Amino acid sequence: MSCKFCTSIRSPKLNCEDESCPVEIIHPPEDCNLNSSLSFTLQVCRVEDIDVWGLIQGTVIHFNRARSVTVHTSGTISTTGLGCKSGIGRGRLLSSGLSGGGGHGGKGGNSFVNGSRAEGGPTYGNADLPCELGSGSGNDSTGLSTAGGGIIVLGSWEYSLPSLTLYGTIESNGGSLTDAVTNSSIGPGGGSGGTVLLFVRTLSLAESSVLSSVGGFGRAGRGGGGGGRIHFHWSNIPTGDEYVPVAAIKGSILASGGISKGPGFPGENGTVTGRACPKGLYGTFCKECPLGTYKNVTGSSKSLCFPCPSGELPRRAVYTSVRGGAAETPCPYICVSDRYRMPHCYTALEELIYTFGGPWLFGLLLSGLLILLALVLSVARMKFAGTDELPGPAPTQQGSQIDHSFPFLESLNEVLETNRAEESHGHVHRMYFMGPNTFSEPWHLPHTPAEQITEIVYEDAFNRFVDEINTLAAYQWWEGSIYSILCILAYPLAWSWQQWRRRKKLQRLREFVRSEYDHSCLRSCRSRALYEGLKVTATPDLMLGYLDFFLGGDEKRPDLPPRLRQRFPMSLIFGGDGSYMAPFSLHSDSVLTSLMSQAVQPWIWHRLVAGLNAQLRLVRRGNLKATFLPVLNWLETHADPALGVNGVRVDLAWFQATALGYCQLGLVVYTVEGEPVTAELDGSPRIKIEQHSPVQDMLADAQLSRSRIKDALMRKRITGGILDSTTLRTLKDRRDFLYPFSLILHNSKPVGHQDLVGLVISILLLADFSLVLLTFLQLYSYSMADVLLVLFVLPLAILSPFPAGINALFSHGPRRSAGLARVYALWNITSLVNVVVALICGFVHYKSSTKRHPSTQPWNLGTDESGWWLFPTGLMLLKCIQARLVDWHVGNLEIQDQAVYSKDPNIFWQS
């Protein structure tokens, strides 16, 4: 049906004084033409689709049993001003003819003219199911009166309208007086709005559409009419997952009171109501409850949408909307990121932790497991490597060459070549390579032959030999380039690479001298024929190399080889450079031991070298001036008095400064003129030093001898000088970029309790690996990019300490164990860079997470975003403790006789 122009054809009987609801409005009869209680102005029944293009006007308009109603932009359904002129809510009428505004959904406005006041009409009807006509203002028998709005009903209780689409207007407004009033002291107020009752399933209001039931306005002090009633009686409101909005409102829905021009009062607003909404929905149009609220009762008030219990919302979760609204608790929520897992929004790390009862119980269980595994590891280590881990002191006989109670660095069984005792008898001179054997400053020999070998070599041939040696000793550019790259990426690998290339370089030099060079620089025909006059050797750290010259046996010179005292002053250069991986040490091989036995007993020399090396271990590069002072004091109190028995003295000295400023440190050995020191020898390797005047006389003579030593060094073309407490201050000491790490990692004195230290290291090693894995789980909860960044900022450095530590703990022999323990310590301290990066990643994530989700709980010791610092900080602290324990462990391995650190010389020599 399409109504282009429709009007009322007769005036219906109005029930203006009856408060009961006409039955045809709520429950219309099957026969659409039968009206038992109300004569309809317009009733449209049993029509499928209704399109309204024009004006439909009447007192009561009812569309029933239709499939859809569409009111187009030009269409209007109106009952405005066609209701009751008096009615239940009529305004009070004064004898003067002045009346207040009519009331309905809202009270009518009071009229106020020339001191006269007329009350507005009262409210009436049911807001949840309105079905009354609007009331007027005044008496319907009076010519000056206004009427209220009529009734518009679309659908019915049994047959709701499936679809109502409004582009135009549906109105049931109160009437307003439009005629001119000659007497300004009389006249009615505005009529009240009528009723708009919609039994619909879906509703759509376009932007320009109007659905109204407003009160009429009053002129010149007359009161405005009260607003009417608009009710949406929704049928079959879908809930839960089937929910779809029942209304799309873009237009205007008005039920306001009419305004009053002048001193009168406006009418009160009417009502706009809807059917009681099911659980999860609220409001006139049964919308979903706001996010973070739930509704578990039937009703339309917004106050029924209760706030969700905050205790049920996990950390890192936000409430989410669900179709049909939240009807029960807990309210639906989602985690703030895909990194977190429902239902508790835990990270993978937290899932692990809370699976075992929470942080404290998890920490307790993990600690117990680590201790148990460490005990098993320690037992396995003792069974696997314990037989030769800590050899006891071997009985020592006077004059023996080996004492296992001394540091392993001094064991004569650990030189790089097979020692031959007969070589010492033909030894003429030891020429030290200059330089530290690095890629930037390789070994090189001076071209000028030393004074001691001028009579056994041809100078020109020797210079050619030196050229060939220096060429072979130099490194290729790519070797240094690889080292530089590894220094940036993984310093322990750089150290291993450097040692490997040093070892290869030493092997190449020895092969050249042993088999390729024709020894043409030597005068001895036998040496040239047998290739036995020259020998290249190095200290175990491969930083100090030297070239030994031997007689061929056909020289027939009674003054060769020279005796020890003829070699004085003799320089003995330290190996190492004072770093953690290469501490200073004096390497005493069979040649040196044999030479020194000409002046002192071998056991005294071995003990002195052991004590000296124990002191040299504590010297640190970057702090040489302070750490060499104890060495000077030790030489004064322990070494020189014992050597003075045979009129020999040693002093600290520097030698052979290179063009790049590198100088070698060592000892200068010389004789002291004066009375020997009284010593008691009882047939055993024991010596007792008596501190009396002869010692002091000898020390005084030593001061006088130092000036002679300088002259002798100059005559022998040895560049260098004596170091004492005064000259030590002028010693140049360079600090590289690794110096800050030496504050954490440095050689220290042994503490004993090797098994206990090993057990604690095992516990910390397992704890370190566990914390690394937990840190990676934490980083994975941030992003995979953070994991890769921490893993490869120094490639695999954070994972390497564990295998390096296991390798060190299960290695055989104290020397090998100590070397591998140093590598483990180096990996451990290098991985601090990765840990710092992990700390930075956690901080950045915490700050960004706080900005995105400010509701995240504040700083605590938990495992949420505020605990970003917990694992990295614990790992950093653990690595610092490991560094200290590894220092003690290495000290226990290298110094197995703690008496070498005794400040009492007698205890030192008698132990």
Closest CA to 34 of 62, 14, 9, 8: 62
H or E stretch including 847? helix 832-852
Q: Which H, E and C letters describe 43-62, residue by residue? A: EEECCCEEEECCEEECCEEE
Q: Calculate what percentage of the chain has a pLDDT beyond 90.
A: 40
Whether the per-residue pLDDT at 677 is higher than 50: the answer is: no
Is the CB of residue 457 less than 8 Å from the CB of residue 479? no
Is the CB of residue 264 less than 8 Å from the CB of residue 221? yes
Neighbouring C-alpha atoms within 13 Å toward the C-beta of 91: 46
Residue 324 corresponds to which tokens in the numbers above? Answer: 């049909």
Whether the per-residue pLDDT at 619 is higher than 70: the answer is: yes
| Residues 415-440 pLDDT 10s | 334 344 455 678 899 999 999 999 99
| Residues 45-60 pLDDT 10s | 888 899 999 999 999 9
Whether the per-residue pLDDT at 655 is higher than 50: the answer is: yes
Whether the per-residue pLDDT at 449 is higher than 60: the answer is: yes
DSSP state of 103: -
Q: b/e per residue, 324-354, with b = 16+ CB within 10 A?
A: bbbbeeebebebbeeebeeeebbbebbeebe
Give the mean model confidence (pLDDT) for residues 385-394.
46
Pairing status of strand 60-64 against strand 151-154: parallel
Is the CB of residue 437 less than 8 Å from the CB of residue 448? no
Query: How far is it, in rounded angstroms, from Cα 473 to Cα 432?
Result: 13
Residue 47 corresponds to which tokens in the numbers above? Answer: 């029509």
Whether the per-residue pLDDT at 180 is higher than 80: the answer is: no
Give the mean model confidence (pLDDT) for residues 284-313.
91
Any bridge partners for residue 338, and if so which?
none
| Residues 73-110 pLDDT 10s | 999 999 999 998 888 898 888 877 788 899 999 999 99
Say what the pTM is.
0.69
Q: Calculate what percentage of the chain has a pLDDT beyond 70.
A: 85
Query: How far is it, in rounded angstroms, from Cα 779 to Cα 514?
Result: 57
Query: How far is it, in rounded angstroms, from Cα 210 to Cα 169?
Result: 5
pLDDT in the model for residue 675: 45
Query: How far is it, in rounded angstroms, from Cα 745 to Cα 606?
Result: 29
Using the structure block, give the residue that is written with the tokens 């020890």.
564
Question: Nearest 5°: CA angle at 317, between 312 and 318?
Answer: 95
pLDDT band at 555 (very low <50, low <70, confident <90, very high): confident
Cα 253 to Cα 60, 216, 232, 270, 614: the distances in Å are 20, 16, 12, 11, 97
pLDDT band at 679 (very low <50, low <70, confident <90, very high): very low
pLDDT in the model for residue 161: 92
Query: How far is it, in rounded angstroms, from Cα 412 to Cα 401?
Result: 7
Q: Where are the domains of the chain?
A: 1-13+21-275, 282-335, 347-385+750-894, 421-453+533-735
Query: How far is it, in rounded angstroms, from Cα 360 to Cα 742?
Result: 35
Residue 782, judged by CB atoms within 10 A of its CB (0-12, 13-18, 19+), counts as: buried
| Residues 329-340 pLDDT 10s | 889 999 887 878
pLDDT band at 511 (very low <50, low <70, confident <90, very high): very high
761 residue type, one letter: I
pLDDT in the model for residue 91: 86
Neighbouring C-alpha atoms within 13 Å toward the C-beta of 528: 13
User: How high does pLDDT run on average in the chain?
Assistant: 83
pLDDT in the model for residue 810: 86
Using the structure block, give the residue that is written with the tokens 């491969």.
542
Give the mean model confidence (pLDDT) for residues 551-557.
79
